[in-house]
Chain A
Amino acid sequence: MDSLVIDIAVLVLAGFVGFAVISKVPNTLHTPLMSGTNAIHGIVVLGGLLLMSEANGILEQIVLVIAVAFGTINVVGGFLVTDRMLGMFKSKPDPVTAEPDDAKDPEAAA
Chain B
Amino acid sequence: MLAAGTIFLQTTNFIDACYIVAFGLMIYGMSGLTGPRTAVRGNQTAAVGMAVAVIATLLRKGEFHGSATVWLIVAGVVIGAVIGVPAARNVKMTAMPQMVALFNGVGGGAVALIAWVEYRHAFTHGGGSPWALRVMIFELFGAIVGSISFWGSGIAFGKLQEILPGRPIKLPGRAQSVLNLVLLVAAVGSAVVLCAGTHSQLLFIVGILVVAAALGNMLVLPIGGADMPVVISLLNAFTGLSAAATGVALSNPVMIVAGMIVGASGTILTDQMAKAMNRSVPAIVAGGFGGAVAAPAAGAGQTEGQTVRSTSAADVAIQLSYARQVVVAPGYGMAVAQAQHAVRELERALEAKGVEVKYAIHPVAGRMPGHMNVLLAEADVPYDLLREMDDINPEFSRTDVTLVIGANDVTNPAANNEPGSPIYGMPILEVDRSAAVIVLKRSMASGFAGIDNPLFYDPKTSLLFGDAKASVSEITSEVQAL
Contact = CB atoms under 8 A, between A and B. Distances in A.
**A and B interact physically:** yes
A72 B242 CA distance: 17
Interface in B77-95: 77, 79-81, 83-85, 87-89, 91, 93
Most A CB atoms within 10 A — which of B73, B116, B363? B73
Given A14-B261, A31-B100, A74-B103, 20 more contacts: A4-B251, A10-B253, A14-B264, A17-B260, A21-B27, A30-B363, A37-B265, A46-B54, A46-B255, A47-B118, A48-B110, A65-B76, A66-B76, A67-B109, A71-B76, A72-B84, A77-B99, A81-B96, A89-B39, A92-B377
Most B CB atoms within 10 A — which of A39, A60, A94? A39
A68 B44 CA distance: 22
A82 B363 CA distance: 19
A27 B369 contact: yes
A43 B85 contact: no
A61 B33 CA distance: 37
Most B CB atoms within 10 A — which of A16, A48, A73, A76? A73
Nearest to A74: B107
Interface string B361-373: 1010000111101
A85 B57 CA distance: 29
20 contacts: A7-B253, A14-B261, A15-B264, A18-B261, A22-B31, A22-B34, A30-B272, A31-B371, A52-B76, A53-B65, A55-B66, A55-B69, A56-B120, A64-B114, A72-B81, A76-B88, A77-B99, A79-B46, A80-B84, A83-B44
A80 B85 contact: yes
A68 B57 CA distance: 13
B104 interface: yes
Counting contact residues on chain B (CB < 8 A from A), the size range is 35 or more
B401 interface: no
A90 interface: yes
Contacts of B437: none
Contacts of A10: 253, 256-257
Nearest to B385: A95
B481 interface: no
B63 A43 contact: no
A98 interface: no
Interface of A: 3-4, 7-8, 10-11, 14-19, 21-56, 60-61, 63-90, 92, 94-96
A55 B117 contact: yes
B331 interface: no
B43 A74 contact: no
B455 interface: no
Contacts of A23: 268
Nearest to B76: A68
B378 interface: yes
Nearest to B368: A31
B395 to A, nearest CB: 17
B97 to A, nearest CB: 8
Contact of B50 (A11, A34, A35, A75): A75
B233 interface: yes
Interface of B: 26-27, 29-31, 33-36, 39-40, 42-44, 46-47, 50, 53-54, 57-58, 60, 62-66, 68-69, 72-73, 75-77, 79-81, 83-85, 87-89, 91, 93, 96, 99-100, 103-104, 106-107, 109-111, 113-114, 116-118, 120-121, 124, 134-135, 232-233, 236, 239-240, 242-244, 246-248, 250-266, 268-269, 272, 361, 363, 368-371, 373-374, 377-378, 380, 382-384, 386, 388
Given A3-B251, A30-B369, A40-B262, A72 B77 contact: yes
A33 B34 contact: yes
A82 B135 CA distance: 34
Contact of B80 (A15, A25, A69, A92): A69
A50 B85 CA distance: 23
B373 A39 contact: no
Most A CB atoms within 10 A — which of B83, B110, B120, B257? B110
B14 to A, nearest CB: 16
Contacts of B262: 18, 37-38, 40-41
A43 B30 CA distance: 14
